[in-house]
Amino acid sequence: MPFWDVHAGYGFKPGVQKGMSDEIPEIPQSVQNLIGKSQYEEQTEFDIEMGYVYNTMAAVQNGNPLYWDKSVAEELVGAQIAPPTMLSVWFRPHYWTPGAEGERKALQTHFDLKEMLGLPEAVIAGNESIFGVPVKMGDKLRTCQVIKSISDVKQTKVGTGRFWVINVECVNQDGDHVGTDIYTCLGYRRPAA
């Protein structure tokens, strides 16, 4: 199914609209060269631990004994694990940490693309997750961000811009795939008032 049928609420119209190429420049070669390349490789700043899991489960009132009862987890999967939906939690940087310089942002590639493509506004238009092996307590995870695609110029209800897809790929300390978050983003310029 074409993307615009799935995300019709954004008023997506395929193709370059008349006059848009003057407003939104072509994708620079330096940006095209980033497509498919691993960026922002990093490791979790702390080992995976149950405190975060308990707080998350309490916040959403999830009483699944797999996450609350160590004996149930041991019986079912051989270890205490984190819910797969917590994958992005482990890589949300603290706003401040000793030795870090500048503002720290999750999904930095998204902010880079906004700047490099001259698109000051942006939204996450869609998110999908692929889950691999369970994340266990004590795991150390590594991640990287990969630009998968950047669209032609599009006219939407919110403005003129481009869609891009970024995969955030994650493995554990053994190199096992634990999951991939796929973000579809829309960077745009608002119409002139």
**Residue 120 included in any domain:** yes
Residue 10 lies in a domain: no
| Residue 90, burial from CB neighbour count under 10 angstroms (0-12, 13-18, 19+) | buried
Give the range of the structural domain holding residue 87, as residue numbers without chain letter: 21-189
What is the C-alpha to C-alpha distance for residues 190 and 193, in angstroms, rounded to an integer? 8
Structure confidence at residue 181 (pLDDT): 96
Query: What pLDDT was estimated at residue 21?
Result: 40
What pLDDT score does 187 carry?
A: 97
Position 8 in a domain: no
pLDDT value of position 14: 42
Closest CA to 10 of 185, 158, 192: 158
Q: Tell me if 152 is assigned to some domain.
A: yes
CATH of the domain at 154: 3.10.129.10
Q: Quick check: is 9 in a domain?
A: no
pLDDT tens by residue, 14-69: 443 344 444 788 999 999 999 999 999 999 888 899 999 999 999 999 999 999 99
Alpha carbon of 13 to those of 67, 82, 118, 153, 190: distances in Å? 44, 40, 21, 10, 16
How many domains is the chain partitioned into structurally? 1
Bridge partners (DSSP) listed for residue 147: 166
Supply the pTM of this predicted model.
Answer: 0.82
- Residue 106, pLDDT score: 84
Closest residue by Cα to residue 150 from 11, 24, 17: 24
**Predicted pLDDT at 153:** 96
Residue 184 domain-assigned?
A: yes
Stretches where the chain sits below pLDDT 50 are 1-22
Report whether 2 contacts 14 (CB < 8 A): yes
6 Cβ contact list (under 8 Å, min separation 6) = 126
Residue 1 belongs to some domain of the structure: no
- What is the pLDDT, as a whole number, of residue 25? 87
Residue 7 lies in a domain: no
